[in-house]
Amino acid sequence: MGQETEFKKLSNLAKNMGLITEREGETLYNLAKNGPGKGAIVEIGSFKGKSTIYLASGSKAAGREKVYAIDTHMAWKEKGKTRAGIYVPKKGAFKFFLSNLRKARVEDWVVPVKEYSHKANEKWSKPIRLLFIDGSHKYLHVKLDFLLWEPFIAKGGIIALHDSHEIESVKDFGRKCPWIRGPKKVVNERIIKSKRFKNIRIVDTITIATKIKKEGAFSRAENSLYAFWLKERLYMQRFRKLLVAVRNLLIKIKISLIIMYHLTISPNTNVGRLGIIIKKISPRLYYKLRKIKDEI
């Protein structure tokens, strides 16, 4: 099959599967098929598999390396439709991903890694020839992905960061494109200002660069320390979020118990002090609460 026909097929198939543009998909395909070096292809952030399918199709067409597709596949906070009008499943995101890979006939060329990227990194040891970063877009998270994964890229290998450059069609979705800020800052700090990358180019929102030099021992140590600190911060943030969620739940339970108590406390009228007040302000709300209480 000619490349044009292959791209048409992929474009039709993957139209509603994700958040990359066709040009970006074709670039990933070409990098996976014809890109320099030897080593694994690693993708951070697969979502429903659009970029994974382009990467895997390219690599498969040339009989080259498999794609390690890292994603937690947990439900996103934003439910329903995303900025690109793509449906986000509340549950079972992983099922969508696998079924899309099957539709594209690349399930044999993808190794799904259902984990946080920093967790997957702890078990990783192979050289990488193509790293595509499109996971969490928060600045510190993108930075952590860069610090943890970039050292594995072989000399001459490629790094590509999605959403690191604004384009008009993407701007339309939101005034300030907040999701661009994190990746863009990391690209500026770690790629553009560095002397270790060359041939820096942009395709739609993706910045692509070729790694020409490994880090020196000193900055490697410095970066490892920094990544360690970022990871600890991340764990603390998650722990704090958990504590806040538990506290909120306890508060809700307490408030519900107080309401139920006050609705039923009066022995004569079966209407408590709070019930009397609520009934006066909004009889409808009062009867709703009574109904809930009776159902419990």
Give the CA distances from residue 5 to residues 10, 12, 32, 65, 104, in Å, rounded to whole numbers and listed in that order: 9, 11, 18, 23, 14
Site membership for ligand SAM, residue 183 (CB under 6 A): no
Would you count residue 29 as binding ligand SAM (CB under 6 A)? Answer: no
Binding of ligand SAM at residue 40 (CB under 6 A)? no
Contact set for ligand SAM, span 7-26 (CB under 6 A): 18-20
Tokens 């309401």 sit on residue: 259
Choice between 24 and 65, CB closer to ligand SAM: 24
User: With binding defined as CB under 6 A, does residue 51 bind ligand SAM?
Assistant: yes
**Pairwise CA distance, residues 102 & 96, whole Å:** 10
- Judged by beta carbon, residue 9 or residue 254, the one nearer ligand SAM is 9
> How many residues belong to the site for ligand SAM (CB under 6 A)?
19
Q: Which two tokens stand for residue 11?
A: 């474009």
CA distance 288 to 243: 31
- Asked whether position 205 contacts ligand SAM by CB under 6 A, the answer is no
Burial (Cβ within 10 Å: 0-12, 13-18, ≥19) of residue 90: exposed
CB 133 within 8 A of CB 44: yes
d(CA 93, CA 114) in angstroms, rounded, equals 11
Piece in contact with ligand SAM (CB under 6 A), picked from 33-41, 69-77, 196-204, 225-233: 69-77
Stretch that binds ligand SAM, among 135-143, 197-205, 214-222, 285-293 (CB under 6 A): 135-143
- Only one of the segments 33-41, 128-136, 181-189, 220-228 lies at the binding site for ligand SAM (rule: CB under 6 A); that segment is 128-136
Residue 182 binds ligand SAM (CB under 6 A): no
Q: Which of 27, 136, 164, 210 binds ligand SAM (CB under 6 A)?
A: 136
For residue 176, give both structure tokens: 């300030």
User: Coil, strand or helix: which one is 125?
Assistant: coil
Specify the residue, 18 or 39, whose C-beta has the smaller distance to ligand SAM.
Answer: 18
DSSP 132: E
Question: Does residue 117 belong to the site contacting ligand SAM (CB under 6 A)?
Answer: yes
For residue 134, state whether it binds ligand SAM (rule: CB under 6 A): yes
Contact 58, 185 (CB under 8 A): no
Pick from 46, 121, 207, 223: which binds ligand SAM (CB under 6 A)? 46
Residue 169 in tokens: 């069609």
**Residue 48, beta-bridge partner list:** none
Nearer to ligand SAM, 51 or 207 (CB): 51
Stated length of the chain: 296
84 Cβ neighbours under 8 A, 6+ residues apart: 19, 173
DSSP state of 151: G
When binding is defined by CB under 6 A, the residue of 29, 116, 149, 286 that contacts ligand SAM is 116
With binding defined as CB under 6 A, does residue 57 bind ligand SAM? no
Contact between 71 and ligand SAM per CB under 6 A: yes
Residues in the site for ligand SAM, rule: CB under 6 A?
A: 18-20, 44-47, 50-51, 70-72, 74, 116-117, 134-136, 141
